[in-house]
Amino acid sequence: MKTQIKYIAAAIILTCLFGCSSESKQDKEGNDSAMVRNFLIDVTSLEGVESKTPIADFEKVARATADKIMDVTQSTINELITESANYKKCIIIAGDHTVVKIEDFSDCQKSTSWGACMPYAEGYIKKGDLVIQKDFMNNIIGRPDNQKRTAYLFK
């Protein structure tokens, strides 16, 4: 009888331990995903992220949750703009210091350096603090160069 009670107690303890640990993993993933979901709704939500590297942290989650990822270069920008019109949201991250969300594809400005009509976007440049940006995308992500720029597309 005592042996059975020990086995039952051990089973209950193990169930609780495994159940609790997987639950907290789900909560963490849900909170991380919420950072991207909230940004897709309202870019100012990034200001509430408590991190010294909010854009780098955001990019890790975006990479894991995006429906499609594309490199952003001068030779791929027109394809990106065309392709991203088929998605609900498009986020572009430059380095670990700039993040923008395309807001309006119909409102664009011709960029000779990019060779494309760059859509209106909103986002942040990290200059110590996050500095809000609302402008045409080329004015936020800069001129084409060797800097790594990546687009994250969400359905």
Q: Is 52 helix (H, G, I), strand (E, B) or coil?
A: coil
Element (H, E) at 91: strand 89-94
- Residue 50's pLDDT is what? 87
- Residue 12's pLDDT is what? 45
| In a domain? residue 114 | yes
The mean pLDDT value for 126-138 works out to 95
Nearest Cα to Cα of residue 44 among 109, 123, 99, 115 = 123
| In a domain? residue 116 | yes
DSSP 76: T
- Residue 1's pLDDT is what? 57
Number of domains observed in the structure of the chain: 1
How many Å is the Cα radius of gyration of the chain? Answer: 21
Instruction: Note down the domain range covering 74.
Output: 38-154
| In a domain? residue 21 | no
For the stretch 27-66, pLDDT in tens is 334 567 889 999 999 999 998 888 899 999 999 999 999 9
Rounded-to-integer distance, Cα 111 and Cα 49, Å: 32
| In a domain? residue 105 | yes
- Residue 4's pLDDT is what? 54
